[in-house]
Amino acid sequence: MKQKRPSIKDIAKALNVSITTISFVLNGKGEERKISKEVIKKIEDYVEEINYRPNQVAQSLRTGKSKILVFMVEDIGNRFFAKIARIIEDIAYEKGYKVLFCSNENNDKRSRELIRVFHERQVDGFLIIPSPGIKKDIENLIKSDIPVVLADRYFEDLDVHHVVINNYAAAQNATQHLIDNGYKNIAFISIDTQQIQMKDRARGYRDAVQQAGLSPTVLELPFEEIHKPEGKNKIKALLTGSNGIDSVFFSTNYLTQASLEIIKELDPKLIYDLGIVTFDDNEFFRINTPSITAVAQPLQELGEELMRIMFKLLKKSDKEIPVIKSVLDAELLPRESSKKK
Amino acid sequence: MKQKRPSIKDIAKALNVSITTISFVLNGKGEERKISKEVIKKIEDYVEEINYRPNQVAQSLRTGKSKILVFMVEDIGNRFFAKIARIIEDIAYEKGYKVLFCSNENNDKRSRELIRVFHERQVDGFLIIPSPGIKKDIENLIKSDIPVVLADRYFEDLDVHHVVINNYAAAQNATQHLIDNGYKNIAFISIDTQQIQMKDRARGYRDAVQQAGLSPTVLELPFEEIHKPEGKNKIKALLTGSNGIDSVFFSTNYLTQASLEIIKELDPKLIYDLGIVTFDDNEFFRINTPSITAVAQPLQELGEELMRIMFKLLKKSDKEIPVIKSVLDAELLPRESSKKK
DNA sequence: AAGATTTGGTAAAACGTTTTACTAGTTTTA
DNA sequence: TAAAACTAGTAAAACGTTTTACCAAATCTT
């Protein structure tokens, strides 16, 4: 019933040609290898007729190439990563590559495990949103000569291709925007991490605040507290405390989301008084009342740039490619939430 | 520099044992095949020492199994699919499977292409959110004896394992909820498609409205118009027309999103008067003012059920498994947007 | 006319596994 | 004590490609 897929061998038998000849023709080396027009035509026609497709697993085994890329993100369920994933998927498929997505939860153990698994599977390249402590693993990957491009963040003391946005400038600009709108007591709510993208955002915030002669208020939540009561309570305390906070700059989307929920249950009116700017845009920020001012990352551009670099690495004969450090600009989208009321 | 990964052959040479023996030991068949304790230990220790990992591509070629599943969705960038993807990913990895995600855009041509590509790649199973016209392709897949589970929708005249929600009941219930809250003129905005999930939702709406002695108003947009001016205008016309619509039930998340945007730019106050219920929940529906009543699909359960069936199929010796049709219940989450004002 | 080159291919090794079929030696059975 | 059964493995084929090395016949060169 379930008839076997035809292999080159079957074609060879049917056409009375050697396997080698067929392989050459299929790989477009017919002319080069002086196969006659007639034989080429005969093979091509037959291949078309029986709708033959080479077995990719066998090809992979022989060539060591899998035509599979890995895109490792924090959480594929998160809008930011899912959107980039979609962009990357499209570009990859166009060039005959497939993409395996995986979520590392910004967790080193999980990241390591995933890298190992896919390395074994001989994927051709890694696009990685790295968790904080996997510098060594990235280094090893590169040592074994497999293309790696980091995204969203990188390691200051490890030279790896990466594409990020200018977090410092974006954060400074966003903070300045609040200042320009008359806010005097701007808080910064972020994640407690040493990762470069967050450090840069914090620096941008601090510098803007200090240059304006204001004083910074920073709340940095441990990653694991974000969706737990501890985290919530800290945010509540900040928003309702006697510190006179009149506006908040959120360093990442899930903090904003969590905080908006808190505000909603704490005191729905508060949202009309509080100045808000957040990192990472979302369709609902436009819809929300008041609409939420956001720093939008250039997702399309980011995905394209990532893939541009990846393909460059995949194509390289063996000449070393100098490390590419691509820095894109984020865009501030001013909306109602940052207008002084 | 880049030293080759060790293969079984290398181990054989190092330990002076045959390749066969090593393979047996690695596959846990040491005892069964009467390999002595010492040899087993020797092999295991060495394997541990050099951190040997079998080449999965070679394994795949030999066994015909790839340990890769495909999850084909409409758009991996869409929250609904991205969340399920994340759940599936976790379950799969636990059992040693990887998941390739791909987006078919609810487009038949693209779906077919993707199925072909992955079929060639010898993935072990397909989890598919099918586009409308790929019944034949699904059938072929099943004929070639590869596990397929459909999700979110299925084909009425094709017996394939699937897990869906009870769309009819959910839609009826949601509509009834609006009726119970005093709305008299409830519109239904949906996609113009023959797909079962949408037809069921429409039926549920119609039946509820008719049973209450009210008259239905249905707007069905062609898929490609959703984000285009044509679509927007139709929605605008419906919302502002002289038809006296006092509430809307949206059949899917991107329609709600699009409509909320339209409302916002058309007349931000409108949202406080209009009754709204939507299919598919979202964190922002809780945050929004007013918060939006939603029919929440049981994502976790859905993912788990999908994988439960998939693993059952993957494990089957060859006894036929009767077609599993799993129907889950959605949950209505009443919020502010459906309270009569 | 003999050596060199070109034409049009082919045989066989290799990629790294799994698995079937076999074996030489030892122990048990009757 | 001869046959049977068991022990502890091994050799080799197979999965489906790519690629290197080779070859015989035809043609060209001098």
To test the contact with chain B by mutation, choose from A101, A114, A235, A278 the residue with the greatest count of B C-beta atoms within 10 A, namely A101
How far: B34 CA to D10 C1' (Å)?
13
CA distance A271 to chain B (A): 10
DSSP-derived secondary structure for A180-236: HTT--SEEEEEE----HHHHHHHHHHHHHHHHTT---EEEEE-GGGTTSHHHHHHHH
Check whether residue A62 has its CB closer than 7 Å to nucleic acid strand D.
Answer: yes
Please tell me whether residue A50 adopts helix, strand or coil conformation.
helix
Phi, psi of A263, rounded to the nearest 5 degrees = -60, -45
User: Alpha-carbon Rg of chain A, whole angstroms?
Assistant: 26
Nearest alpha-carbon partner for A116 in B42, B85, B5: B5
- What is the structure's pLDDT at B120? 83
Q: What angle do CA B26, B30, B33 make, to 5 degrees?
A: 130
Check pLDDT > 90 for residue B7: yes
Measured between alpha carbons, how far is B97 from B117 in angstroms, rounded to an integer? 19
Which residues of chain A between 9 and 38 are close to nucleic strand D, CB under 7 A? 9, 19-20, 23-24, 26-27
Domains of chain B listed by start with CATH number: 8-54 (1.10.260), 65-164+300-327 (3.40.50.2300), 167-297+332-338 (3.40.50.2300)
> Other CB atoms closer than 10 Å to residue A291's CB: what's the count?
19
Tell me what the pLDDT averaged over chain B comes to.
94
Helical spans, DSSP H, in B95-228: 108-120, 135-143, 167-180, 196-211
The alpha carbon of A299 is separated from its chain's Cα centroid by a whole number of angstroms, namely 9
Q: Where are the beta strands (DSSP E) in chain A?
A: 68-73, 98-103, 125-128, 148-151, 162-165, 186-191, 217-221, 247-250, 275-279, 293-296, 325-328, 331-333
Give the tens place of pLDDT for each residue, B163-175. 999 999 999 999 9
Q: What is the pLDDT of residue A193?
A: 95
Name the residue facing A89 among B54, B56, B76 (closest C-beta): B76
What is residue A1's predicted lDDT score, i.e. its pLDDT? 46
User: CA B129 to CA B150: how far, in whole Å?
Assistant: 6
Overall residue count recorded for chain B in this entry: 341
pLDDT of B240 reads 86
Pick from B269, B217, B266, B265: nearest CA to B243: B217
Q: What is the pLDDT along chain A (341 residues), one digit of tens a residue?
A: 456 789 999 999 999 999 999 999 999 999 999 999 999 999 999 999 999 999 999 999 999 999 999 999 999 999 999 999 999 999 999 999 999 999 999 999 999 999 999 988 889 999 999 999 999 999 999 988 899 999 999 999 999 999 999 999 999 999 999 999 999 999 999 999 999 999 999 999 999 999 999 999 999 999 889 889 999 999 999 998 788 999 999 999 999 999 999 999 889 899 999 999 999 999 999 999 899 999 999 999 999 999 999 999 998 755 678 999 999 999 999 999 999 86
For chain A, give the number of residues.
341
At position B259, the amino acid (one-letter code) is S
* pLDDT in the model for residue A241: 79
Q: Is nucleic acid strand C under 7 Å from B60's C-beta?
A: no
Instruction: Work out if B35's Cβ lies within 7 angstroms of strand D.
Output: yes
Are β-strands A275-279 and B325-328 bridged in parallel, bridged antiparallel, or unpaired? unpaired
pLDDT tens-place string over residues B94-120: 999 999 999 999 999 999 999 999 988
pLDDT score of B57 more than 70: yes
The reply to whether residue B86 touches residue A76, judged by beta carbons under 8 angstroms, is yes
| Alpha carbon separation from A1 to A4, A5, A197, B144, B319 (Å, rounded) | 9, 12, 57, 9, 15
**Residue B69: strand pairing partners:** B99, B125
pLDDT value, residue B1: 45
CB B155 within 8 Å of CB B230: no
Q: Distance in angstroms, CA of B180 to C1' of C7?
A: 86
Mean pLDDT of all residues in B154-167: 97
- Assess whether A215 (CB) lies less than 7 A from strand C: no
